[in-house]
Structure 1
């Protein structure tokens, strides 16, 4: 028989808590001292109480069902196939292939994989109906769960151009929707907005407006839409972000009689990752993966600690995968669904982020929709403004990245370890619109340090 605890103690009201806090402040102003405002315009209180709780957001998250996903860039089908099978044998539960070559032998790529219980994502840098049909045939014959991440709007936002043009790209999607019923074919890349410096409210609203273009232009969507999301370091806000995103997606999709829950795949952000003192990246990605899981991500693909300057390598991938294995098998993050329910702070953040994002979404739709605002440059300008404010906080030391703008190791040398160019790349080309540029906060500071390494001691 369960025993009720603490019945001998009288409940403490929020008013009593505030009075005690005010007493401890010794005359300092409560709001000025303890209440802070986030970049999203949310005033965060020092504590949240049931007395002021207005009810939780109606959102269901399935933390217990999240999959550990391994990213694999396909250069060679044979080697990538062996690597995929190897990672599955060592703890991965899903695979995401990035494919740039339309001649890749996809049958060879997945031939040895246990597809009956292994979801596979395909991130394609091209839009070819025949290629997608091959994947559909495999999915049908082997009863596989394939998620083909086709996102022409995302390509326009990131690259400045369509695959072909607006009409041809959406014609292709409409053809695939009918011809390929055995796979998920739509993806919305919301990670672009986070990595470029958008606020959380902007990230949610832009992802929704991005998805809304597909609901308006693709006649048949009979599978869940994949939302690709990057997760930042603001722990509780990021949990609330995913919850608010799922809540609003379901709200909007029902207006189109789309009754499927969205499918969220997450990756830690690159924006706060650093070249110097790179081991701190493991700490950042750990908390970011925790936010993703608790926020209800369906799959989590961790970012290796050395991803910004090293090519794919066994050690970095293993550490990234093991971080998720520890969270799942030793920290028991897979044992509880809806883990954030009843946490008044997270519930309140979810509600406020959802309200602000929905208002911004409505404003975008009232002013022509997402594609129109991309072409006009409005989305790019708003993100640049938010990114500039965050960059200013970092440059002034108010936003801290340990080992970079706080407690840097002056003896750290990285110029000899760069296998990849870790900064924004310039690629002069003719584009239809100005692309949204992803940029890390530490880039300018790191470039200055690399230059200093070249100077004689």
Structure 2
């Protein structure tokens, strides 16, 4: 038996970063390393294909321990997050029954969405019957015009029941900038309303009532650095304006709750939550060393985003929300709301809500994510992302501060304009399939229909006398909305649009191009008929017309298109739309004979399909 201890792999020489890169470049066989493997993020920085220890040299974040200022790793010495589910209150008694039921099914944080006329002691007494406010986090949403009233009613109700108010924890979703961002309504008196709710909630020290609602930015398509940068600016605005009204920093930080969205960019989202803890601690710590303790600890709720959720192939939403819940839980948030997979087209039912709850319970009970604090710490890649996101978000935060603060920017519509521009860029990326939505703009199921899932009429707009829109509001069009509108138009037209793959010639090329083209046209809900191949162009066209094809797609190799395409186009003689799959060198020659339509990887899928819908009389 050996008595000497040897270090694993000690006999192997160290490999430098340049040697690794040289090997990769050799394997690329002449392709450009940066163009092929370096990813330029929407946040404005590059992500490399590999990282090494030298990439985190000089960074402070890998040296911070959990529970240590500036809390990049964690604000606490555990990773126990709360499983939250929200209930829209139509009837207080029914909502109470539902709440008691889901409390026995793993929920540890309840959210109630109240109407204006439900903000009273009578409704609360029915709604909270049998629920111990000391044992469960209770959260409430209502119109901001009655939020202060709700705070007073809630405090009075707990006092009347003999509850230990010091042990009661929860929140009231008072978003001081909702009017400007969501409704486009000027609200220069926001600080006065915030001061009123702070006064009203004083009997309940464990309740957070100042919501930094970054979720709205996320759902409007904001980039990650925008969501974080603007969230920090909102938080700083609350501190600045409310300390001027006599509130202490300790009181304000104990009342502020950050609500972030979380998308499907797994590692970036995880790093966002680490960066949020760090930057908020730095902002509060700047007021003095005495605030580098409890006051500097951010309180975060994560809610799965709606921007990337779809109506078609909606069960794919389960995959999206699962990775999002993983990012949030490993990122160390305080509570998570997983939106049910059917949130895009209906008020969720008991099945979808059960699945949403179980997605979090799976992470706790089977994956044990709650048993480890910040497992990503020390990862060269995640540490790089954390610092890069923090850098970009901090630059945005400083620029907002230099322009007068978040309230000034929101009142001027500058925040909304910037986020809406990002939304437009992301929609353009979805249209060109640079941002992928499985089941919508990539690999759709053309046999699926969705019109029957949608409500017959849009819900009535909220109206409570909040004012008239005078500034730009956030655009909440989801990333898939344009593709869904295109496909719904096809579906509702009642037309049976068939796309026929005329496959001929080179076997490998015709198969590859028929698969690409089938996927392309299925995004509009057209029925696709693929084929094994035809011996002649005439045979293929005859088969297409016999099948009742509205569109015939020629799938072959570039070299063969010079012969096959003019022949097929001439024989088809306008009896169906004709498309060439690819971008052959002879494209100009083919256009000269009258061929108009070519599809390839550089095509704008959405605009191309809109043109075909128009040609086919589908509007």
CA distance in 2, matches of 1:194, 1:182: 27
Residue deviations 1:171-223, cap 9 Å, x none? 42443365653422211100111111111111111111111121112232521
**322-331 vs 124-133, greater mean Cα deviation:** 124-133
Q: 3-state SS of the aligned residue for 2:177?
A: helix
- Contact preservation (8 Å) 2:300, 2:333: yes
Cα deviation code 1:279-313 (max 9, x no counterpart): 11111111111111111111111010001112131
Q: CA deviation at 1:15?
A: 2.9
Q: Return closer, same or farther for 1:178/1:218 CA change in 2, 3 Å cut-off.
A: farther
Contact 1:424/1:439 (<8 A) preserved: no
Residue of 110, 114, 131 corresponding to 1:113: 131
Gap change, CA 1:182 and 1:138, over 3 Å in 2: farther
| SS in structure 2 of the partner of residue 316 of structure 1 | helix
TM-score, length basis structure 1: 0.93
Corresponding residue of 2:111: 96
How far apart, in 2, do the equivalents of 1:415 and 1:17 lie?
52
Asked if structure 2 preserves the Cα contact closer than 8 Å seen for 1:139 and 1:146, the reply is: no
Q: Tell me what 2:373 maps to.
A: 337
Match of 2:148 in 1: 129
* Unaligned segments of structure 1, at least 5 residues: none
Q: Does 1:411 align with 2:447?
A: yes
* Residue in 2 that maps onto 1:205: 229
Alignment pair present for 1:292 and 2:323: no
Rounded Cα–Cα distance in structure 1 between residues aligned with 2:186 and 2:113: 19
Describe how 1:160-175 pairs up with structure 2 within 5 A: 160-161=184-185, 165-166=189-190, 168-175=192-199
Listed as ranges, the gaps of 5+ residues in structure 2 are 65-71, 496-619
Deviations 1:235-263 (CA, angstroms, capped at 9, x unpaired): 11111111111211111123346514111
* 2:81 match: 66
Q: What is the alpha-carbon distance in structure 1 between the residues aligned to residue 276 and residue 456 of structure 2?
A: 33
What whole-Å deviation, never above 9, does each CA across 1:427-446 have from its counterpart, x for those lacking one? Answer: 99722422212120111221
Which moves more between the two structures, 344-353 or 222-231? 222-231
Please name the residue that 1:227 is paired with.
Answer: 258
Aligned residues of 2:275 and 2:390 also touching (Cα < 8 A)? yes
Given candidates 460, 473, 477, the residue that maps to 1:439 is: 477
Q: What is the number of residues matched between the two proteins?
A: 456
Which of 246, 256, 260 is 2:277 aligned to? 246
Residue from 276, 279, 284 that aligns with 2:312? 276
Larger radius of gyration: 2
2:200 maps to 1:185 = no
- Compare 19-28 and 401-410 and name the one that shifted more: 19-28
In structure 2, do the counterparts of structure 1 residues 424 and 438 end up closer, same or farther at CA, with 3 Å as the change threshold?
Answer: farther
Equivalent positions of 1:18-29 (< 5 A) are 18-29=21-32
Distance 1:19 1:424 in 2: 61
1:448 is matched with 486
- How far apart are residue 162 of structure 1 and its match? 6.2
